[in-house]
Structure 1
């Protein structure tokens, strides 16, 4: 007897197991590489394996929601709740970086001369590339909102243009941040200031790259007619994630770049 219910009973999948193994190997190889460069190839293999598992798992999720019709309203509610909890976990993740930065800057220890930034460390001018990157991210936040509202109003051509603009702005941000890191007057090994600076801004840069890829996949799905004004959670999740990246950058710009300049 068929049991009609709104939930999706997922079929057996190899990806949770294979991805867990890949992540575990990636972590072990990363630690090993800190002690010996000979583990570089194994680290590369584990990273490629992890990426391939993610691609194929997400491919299956797209197929289930788009072609098999398993993403009912109940399932979409669960996906939205999951995305909200994921973003909350990311907020806690970055909170640790801000906690470290403020702990070191508000009460600088004697080991760094009780100065912040430590003597000999020249800060990056916040009114140069950091300010430009702030404008870029804020503009991209407006363009992704434009795309979302266009999709809700069935203006698919306008949505397409806005998503493409967001992708370009995200790539431009990453390029400028790379230039900033290359030209920075200090390195990650320059006391606790260099460590916390590169840790916080570097992880944010990784999130920008991930968000850009997220939006690019949504762009491809939109062009394949996989989104409608009523059913587009994949793009909605990308929008939420991008706004989270925007807000985190504002806190980074104010606290790490501008505050002590």
Structure 2
């Protein structure tokens, strides 16, 4: 271990000590996955298994990231480690791009190919009178009027949330400028405003979901429109929540005096993620809400 520290001090590489945190992470994922499967099948122990898995996951996250922060603040990380972190975050965001690309591909397929073909007069595959227009109440084996719903329109909460996320991107960039010129007050203020805007976004989206269920009869079970709407916007909301938590951690670290203009990749990683979330929302707003 002493040899690795010596080489790290020379700016070459750092070899961490063996860690048990990956084992706890694996256990957490196993418990969450098996617990969720049990839960949806109405087994009574399902929620408890999920809760146990979440507890393991939180332990792993707090412990592992805390260790990384302590190693970083102690000066053990050199340029090579920073380079590795950047590549890792870049590939992680690329995997997220592919994740959302799959959902956009599904939406394109059902809107432009599947639904129009099912509504073709020569291929009445659902029921007589079915129209291949979007939004669609299909695929139901019969024209059940109880499944009719109102589609979500772009103007209103979705437009307000778009303005909120665009503003949050600007405040985060302003915070980054403050960090680069070592203006600690600007950094902290910009981060605090960004986290607040993220919380407001999630609150408005929760209200939008409640309104859709209670007043628009728009649910996850409302045909292909309901399933794609809630899956795409819901997963984006999850990413906003994760991004806001990341930025809240960056805020706490900034208040403690972490980060310098020369050494602040953790902040940059959280900022990359947040800007990615902004771009995805702009696409969602146009494709899901507007068009």
TM range (shorter): over 0.9
Q: CA–CA distance in 1 between the matches of 2:265 and 2:98?
A: 24
> Match of 1:48?
55
> Match of 1:218?
250
Q: CA–CA distance in 1 between the matches of 2:63 and 2:29?
A: 15
> Match of 2:20?
14
Deviations 1:35-58 (CA, angstroms, capped at 9, x unpaired): 114111221121222122112111
Q: CA–CA distance in 1 between the matches of 2:263 and 2:242?
A: 23
Superposed, 1:98-137 pairs within 5 Å as 98-107=104-113, 108=115, 109=118, 110-111=125-126, 113-119=131-137, 120-137=148-165
2:71 corresponds, among 53, 64, 69, to: 64
TM-score by structure 2 length? 0.86
Higher relative contact order (CA 8 A, sep 6+): 1
> Match of 1:82?
88
Question: Over alpha carbons, which structure has the higher Rg?
Answer: 2
2:263 corresponds, among 225, 228, 231, to: 231
1:200 corresponds, among 229, 232, 235, to: 232
> Match of 1:247?
279
Kept in 1: contact 2:28–2:57 (CA 8 A):
yes
Residue 79 of structure 1 deviates from its aligned partner by 0.2
Q: CA–CA distance in 2 between the matches of 1:200 and 1:51?
A: 25
Deviations 1:120-158 (CA, angstroms, capped at 9, x unpaired): 332112110000000000000000000001100111111
> Match of 2:181?
153
How many residue pairs match? The answer is 258
TM-score by structure 1 length? 0.95
Question: Bigger CA drift: 49-58 or 112-121?
Answer: 112-121
Q: CA–CA distance in 2 between the matches of 1:192 and 1:32?
A: 25
Aligned-residue RMSD, C-alpha: 1.4
> Does the residue aligned with 2:7 lie in a helix, a strand or coil?
coil
